[in-house]
Every structure is written in structure tokens, then in C-alpha cells.
Amino acid sequence: MSASTSASPPVLLTITKYVATLTLNRPNRGNALNAAVITLLQAHLSQLASDPRVHVVILTGSGKYFCTGMDLASGPASDSSAAQRSFREGIKLYDTLALFPKPLVARINGPVLGGGLGLFFTTNIRVALRSSYFALTEVKRGLIPAIISRYIVPEVGSFRANEYMLTGRRVSAAEFVSAGFVTCVVDTPEELDSKTAEYVDMLLTSAPGAMRNIKELVRVVAAGGRGDEAEERVRTHVEGAFLGMMKSEEAAYGIMCFAQKVDPDWTRREEVEEGNEPKAKL
């Protein structure tokens, strides 16, 4: 990823062949999150969520860092209203990522610190350079990872969350692979690109609507909860997901392709549905 200039936006967006790439573009600040980054990233995500040209989104950083978390250069919020505004903006961004309806692929090009782990843990596929590392360093600054705890603790569990958050230690990409938090590690930037592309290609052979429903299904089932009411809520969602799948046009098309022994082309099917060609009979 190229270095930014003073005229470059803090988040870059490119769309090519059903794949959008969002690049955090403040390499001189370790791609730290400030108000401009959060606002632009939020705007791009809102656009991409409903863009039929986009089936998969890649999130990465420019320069040698993926993301070093919140930009602390301006110091702590000076009053309670500023602190509340910062909280609302942060929660909105991470919720948008956590609830994003399309697959998110993290291309981890370097270290991930603090709030950057909030971004990281909202993604679905995570490919990392072996030289990258991860650390929740807030405690070393007298801070706590309050906002991102909502997205990290359910992923890593309370035992590891306590360790990572209390010590602030650096955790290697290899350790994160062993723990099940990174999909795979590679040794060079070239391998990072090729392995990321490999996973993207897998996702492009998956039905977009089914992927959206799977993400929601996993989120609801994982949230679960205890007691009869929580179990009934999960059961109701699972039943609705199953019944919706059975009568969907995507399922009809996929089963038809299976019967005809051909691979479904989900990108072409969407082009047809958008009216670029006569409507296909599914």
C-alpha cells in the first residue's frame, strides 16, 4: 500500500470485480483512528453495505502498521460531552463493522494495537504477516479498552481478555493463529496479497444472500444467552433462517446448478437481476 500525502484522504476506497478494499491511510500516525478516519470509514461502510457491485470487503492499512488504535495526540476528552461524543462515534463504527452484512477480510500488514483490535475482531477472515503483532496497550497509558471490549471479550473469552488487557503484552501472529484468532500467517507482502486473494476468491463463489444470512445466524447463535427466553429466541431465529432459505431464489438457483452439474455464478446472477440482461429463469 502506498504512503499517503497531505492531500490523500485518511481512508482509501477501491472497488474492483465485486471486491472493495478499505485502506486506513495515515501511515505517519500508524493509521491511528481520529474523527476524520472514523467519519469516512463509517460513510464508506454504509455505502458498501447496500452496493450490489460489492460482495466482499477487505480492510487493511498503508505503511508498516495495520492500525495503532485511537489517536491520542489530542489528549483525553476535555469534558463529559466530548467524552460522550467520542463514545457514541466509536460504538457506532464498531457496531457497523460487527453488523456488516457482507464478509470482511482483514489483510493484516503490520502491528495491531488498542482500538485496532476492535477493527480486527469484527472481521470474518484474518490473514496476517508473520512479523505483525497484537497488543491491548491501553492499560500502559492509564486507559481501558472499554468500547472495544464488547467485540473482543466474546471472541477471546474472559480468561484471555483479562490477560491481554491487564498486561498489555505483545502477542505474536503465530500465537494468535494457535489461539484461533487469525486465519493464517504468511511471510512476505506478496504472500499476504496472494493469500488474501485466495480467500476472497472462495467468498466470491458463495451466494451473497446466504453469506449475509450466515453472518446474522452466527451472531444470534453465538450471543445465545441462558434461560428459556434466550433459548426460544435463538430457536425462533434458526427456524426463520431455515424456512427463509428453503424458499429463497438463491437456493433454487444453487440447487438447479447442482442438478445440472454446473458451478453457480453469483456475480452473473446479480447482473441479470439488476436488469443488465434479460431476466434469467431460475
Considering the domain boundaries, does residue 89 fall inside one? yes
Helix axes 228-246, 208-223, angle to 10 degrees: 170
Query: How confident is the model over 151-186, as pLDDT tens digits?
Result: 999 999 999 999 999 999 999 999 999 999 999 999
Q: Say which residue, 6 or 174, is predicted with more confidence.
A: 174
Last residue within a domain, chosen from 204, 229, 256: 204
> Can you list the positions of beta strands (E) in the chain?
11-16, 19-24, 56-61, 104-108, 112-113, 125-129, 133-135, 171-172, 184-186
Looking at the fold, whether 213 and 156 belong to one and the same domain comes out as no
Domain count, the chain: 2
Considering the domain boundaries, does residue 4 fall inside one? no
State the pLDDT at residue 279: 36
- pTM > 0.85: yes or no: yes
Query: How confident is the model over 224-236, as pLDDT tens digits?
Result: 777 778 788 888 8
Looking at the fold, whether 127 and 36 belong to one and the same domain comes out as yes
Cα(61)–Cα(96) distance, rounded to whole angstroms?
19
Looking at the fold, whether 108 and 145 belong to one and the same domain comes out as yes
Looking at the fold, whether 246 and 113 belong to one and the same domain comes out as no
Considering the domain boundaries, does residue 280 fall inside one? no
Looking at the fold, whether 70 and 178 belong to one and the same domain comes out as yes
pLDDT band of 268, cuts 50, 70, 90: confident
Cα(146)–Cα(90) distance, rounded to whole angstroms?
10
Task: Work out the average pLDDT over 90-94.
Answer: 94
Considering the domain boundaries, does residue 84 fall inside one? yes
Considering the domain boundaries, does residue 3 fall inside one? no
Report how far Cα 86 is from the mean position of its chain's Cα atoms: 21
pLDDT above 70 (res 127): yes
Are 92 and 148 within 8 A, CB to CB?
A: no
Last residue within a domain, chosen from 157, 174, 204: 204
Looking at the fold, whether 70 and 115 belong to one and the same domain comes out as yes
- Domain carrying residue 234: 208-273
Query: How confident is the model over 31-84, as pLDDT tens digits?
Result: 999 999 999 999 999 999 999 999 999 999 999 999 999 998 866 656 677 778
Taking Cα atoms as reference points, which of 99, 91, 101 lies closest to residue 51?
101
pLDDT band of 278, cuts 50, 70, 90: very low
**Partners of residue 58 on adjacent β-strands:** 21, 105
Q: Which is it for strands 133-135 and 125-129: parallel, antiparallel or unpaired?
A: unpaired
Last residue within a domain, chosen from 204, 230, 254: 204
Looking at the fold, whether 88 and 220 belong to one and the same domain comes out as no
Cα(269)–Cα(267) distance, rounded to whole angstroms?
5
Taking Cα atoms as reference points, which of 38, 148, 44 lies closest to residue 100?
44
